[in-house]
Chains A and B, each alone.
Chain A
């Protein structure tokens, strides 16, 4: 491959990478927010993302069959996103309430909820498999985003689908940023993440904040599921595993516990993965992410926007 060849396809791959990266970022935010308030990696989060994809697929099928709205992104996307986010937000609340909180309240060490998360992950995967069947499901992406909807920008061939995905992910991240910075809920999440005891002394209902954090993180993961469903067109009940580990990598890469870090890590990972698939070998797609994870943990475990484990005793 000559240098000219590389230059020719680089911008295209970058666009793919950014699109993928924003979706990874959305999932990574869920990991990082839950870690921030509970110091726990919610290993079931990847499967929540998968459920979001399935809900989107089911709704798309129903909309297509019933023809109640035109098959246009303006109608279809908001409906799918809202549906997926409501379902996954609810699952997040249920997970927190029944899989994790009882362990914390009985004084479990960090290991207990972690194992419970793995168990929840297995449960969710199998539940979906039993309900929806083991075969892959296909998103009718091109019924909503016709293949002809693409245009050339500075020599790059860009599809409307890719633009829309990146935009939606970006909007959601901005929405989250607003929530965290400008609302009482956001401030209370930050307080609980930094010093849970003092947060209670401020009058904050700590467990309610934890539950809402799970809800928000899961809903974002569910939205990412819909977006990835449109992007890759194929979803299966075990896709949460690889996507979850990659998003976890992204969260760690950016600095676990740091929301902006999750977005940044997602973006970087998406670009790296896209470039590696193009220039090295498509089979290495998943390996790249895990190689990045190992390198980060070895050399900079704090991540790029490196927030170390918060020190309760500080100040």
Chain B
């Protein structure tokens, strides 16, 4: 079942065309990655899904319903959560308060229900539990990434958007984070990952789209993309 569908999206920043006829489908339960270099349109695609950028034409459908004209908070309330580029935690608040805000969309649910989500996040990220009352701005990059993911999970989203989760992280952390992404997917969340680190993204994804200059230039299963010479040369570095 198709969960997210972008059809012929054209998006502009002023006079500059950022997205040129983008069409993407994501099935329920998949991990899909968007690959590409800088300024290829990966982050803009994410922002378009969330309503932060309004498409000039084309449509975005989530769960069969058009969402491209809705305000960001309405889109989020339908079950999409974001782990933004560079974490963007609320640095002046504690880790606990950040996680609590992640559950804002579910604020009318009983506290006992929300408590189970905290437990789930502590199980995924034991370090987060240790740092609960620390100011989020004082955490290390890797810890902030965990809190950012946890915060997004608190909303129990149907789909998780992750914008460059590996950025600024030490390689050992990158592997950990992507292992966790795979686990989250196995627990039932559909995931769209935007990544410059194509190798690690393709290692956990089912399918991938490759963007260049705002267009989709390639799309295939992750295995095929990983094996493709052209992709290797362009994005993975020539290792032969």
Question: Is A206's beta carbon under 8 Å from chain B?
Answer: yes
**Nearest Cβ on chain A to B79's Cβ, whole angstroms:** 10
Interface pick from B80-88, B170-178, B216-224: B80-88
Contacting pair A187 B100 (CB below 8 A): yes
Question: Is B235's beta carbon under 8 Å from chain A?
Answer: no
- The answer to whether residues A315 and B87 also contact, given A194-B92, A200-B72, A202-B76 and a CB cut-off of 8 A, is yes
Residue in B71, B72, B91, B144 with the greatest tally of chain A CB atoms within 10 Å = B72
The 8 Å CB contact of B93, one of A194, A307, A313, is A194
**B52: which A residues are within 8 A, CB to CB?**
197, 200
Residue of B nearest to A307 (CB): B92
A307 and B93 alpha carbons, distance in the complex (Å) = 13
Give the interface size class of chain B. 20 to 34
A256 and B87 alpha carbons, distance in the complex (Å) = 26
Bitwise, A253-290 to B at CB < 8 A (1) or not (0) is 00000000000000000000000000000000000000
Contacting pair A184 B76 (CB below 8 A): no
**Nearest Cβ on chain B to A290's Cβ, whole angstroms:** 30
**Nearest Cβ on chain B to A311's Cβ, whole angstroms:** 8
Interface pick from B1-9, B102-110, B196-204: B102-110
**A195: which B residues are within 8 A, CB to CB?**
88, 90
A198 and B73 alpha carbons, distance in the complex (Å) = 10
Contacting pair B91 A202 (CB below 8 A): no
**B144: which A residues are within 8 A, CB to CB?**
315
Contacting pair A200 B71 (CB below 8 A): yes
- The answer to whether residues A314 and B72 also contact, given A184-B104, A187-B100, A201-B84 and a CB cut-off of 8 A, is no
**A155: which B residues are within 8 A, CB to CB?**
none
A198 and B147 alpha carbons, distance in the complex (Å) = 14
Residue of B nearest to A203 (CB): B105
Residue in A190, A197, A202 with the greatest tally of chain B CB atoms within 10 Å = A202
**Nearest Cβ on chain A to B235's Cβ, whole angstroms:** 27
**B37: which A residues are within 8 A, CB to CB?**
none
The 8 Å CB contact of A204, one of B73, B92, B93, B100, is B73
**Nearest Cβ on chain A to B168's Cβ, whole angstroms:** 11
Contacting pair B104 A315 (CB below 8 A): no
Bitwise, A287-315 to B at CB < 8 A (1) or not (0) is 00000000000000000000100100111
Q: Which 3 A-B pairs have the closest CB atoms?
A: A203-B105, A200-B72, A315-B91
Known: A200-B52, A315-B144. 12 other contacts (CB 8 A): A190-B97, A191-B104, A195-B90, A200-B71, A200-B73, A200-B76, A201-B76, A202-B73, A202-B102, A203-B155, A315-B90, A315-B137
Sample of 19 A–B contacts (CB below 8 Å): A187-B97, A188-B104, A190-B90, A190-B97, A191-B104, A194-B91, A195-B88, A197-B72, A200-B73, A201-B50, A201-B76, A201-B81, A201-B82, A202-B76, A203-B104, A310-B92, A315-B86, A315-B89, A315-B137
Residues of B in contact with A (beta carbons under 8 Å apart): 50, 52, 71-73, 76-77, 81-82, 84, 86-93, 97, 100-102, 104-105, 107, 136-137, 144, 155
